[in-house]
Structure 1
Amino acid sequence: MAKRILVLDDNHDILDIVHETLSYEQFEVKSTSRGEVVIPLMEKFAPDLIILDYRVAGTNGGELCMQIKSHPNFKNTPVIIFSAYINHDDELYAYGCDAIINKPFDLNELVTKVNSLLNESKENTLL
């Protein structure tokens, strides 16, 4: 069964490229440009990993990350935050994310980080 990934980014070009890349890598991907639908979509789709843009119109990806990490069913779901704000990693990790990818990013870096977090998550559930 394919791992599920939920992606939030309000830049449609980035959203399309990330969606296409992860789909090509055999992940089942749901993507949205609207922050307010992330939690309901997460509850319905039950992703194995979530990728959030830090700055989305009307939403803060860090605050969404905190909501996800406080949700009883998704507190252990890995979350990656995309950020164009380099040198703010400490602030971003304070939201509880598992990884940060700085924009612009390399698609190989994205795939490597996604696979790494999914493997770590799988190992932690086996312990």
Structure 2
Amino acid sequence: MLKRILMLDDNLDILDIVKEALLYEHFEVRITSDGDNIIQAILSYKPDLVMLDYKLNGNSGDDICRQLKAHHQLNNIPVVICSAYLNKNDLLACGCDAIITKPFGLEELVNTVNGLVYLEKSGSPESR
């Protein structure tokens, strides 16, 4: 069974590129730009990993991450935050499992996703 990835970003070009890259790596990928219904989308899709853009229209990725990590059914799902507005301390405080700085290369994306989906978690997000 393919591992499932759900990505939320308000930039459709980024969503398309990430989806194609992860499909090529044999993941099942669902993309969305709707941050308002993201918790329900995660509950119904049951992803193995969630990727969130930090700066969204409306909710921010760190707020959504906090909601996920506080949710009893979702708190074990690894969360990656992607951001061009990088303040690692603020992002790490939300409980994310990894941070990818925009713009990012596809190799970094794939390595981060594989590391969180297929390997046991060890250490802090900064150690990855």
What's the % identity of the aligned pairs? 52
Does the C-alpha gap of structure 1 residues 85 and 94 become closer, same or farther in structure 2, counting only changes over 3 Å? same
Q: Secondary structure at 1:56's aligned position in 2?
A: coil
**Do structure 1's residue 36 and structure 2's residue 36 form an aligned pair?**
yes
Task: State how far apart, in whole Å, the 1-side matches of 2:45 and 2:57 are.
Answer: 23
Task: State how far apart, in whole Å, the 1-side matches of 2:42 and 2:106 are.
Answer: 23
**Do structure 1's residue 8 and structure 2's residue 18 form an aligned pair?**
no
- Which aligned pairs between 1:1-127 and structure 2 lie closer than 5 A? 1-86=1-86, 88-121=87-120
Q: CA deviation at 1:80?
A: 0.1
Q: CA deviation at 1:119?
A: 2.2
Structure with the bigger percentage of helix = 1
Task: State how far apart, in whole Å, the 2-side matches of 1:101 and 1:122 are.
Answer: 17
Task: State how far apart, in whole Å, the 2-side matches of 1:103 and 1:40 are.
Answer: 27
Q: CA deviation at 1:42?
A: 0.2
TM-score, length-scaled by structure 2: 0.91
Q: CA deviation at 1:74?
A: 1.4
Does the C-alpha gap of structure 1 residues 109 and 80 become closer, same or farther in structure 2, counting only changes over 3 Å? same
Aligned residues: 122
Tell me the alpha carbon deviations over residues 37-91 of structure 1, each in whole angstroms, 9 at most, x when there is no partner.
21111000000000000011111100000111111111111000000113x0111
2:126 maps to what in 1? none
Q: Is the 8 A contact 1:54 1:61 kept in 2?
A: yes
Alignment gaps of 5+ in structure 2: 123-128
Task: State how far apart, in whole Å, the 2-side matches of 1:82 and 1:73 are.
Answer: 23
Tell me the alpha carbon deviations over residues 81-113 of structure 1, each in whole angstroms, 9 at most, x when there is no partner.
000113x01110000000000000001000000
Q: CA deviation at 1:34?
A: 1.2
Amino acid at match of 1:85: Y
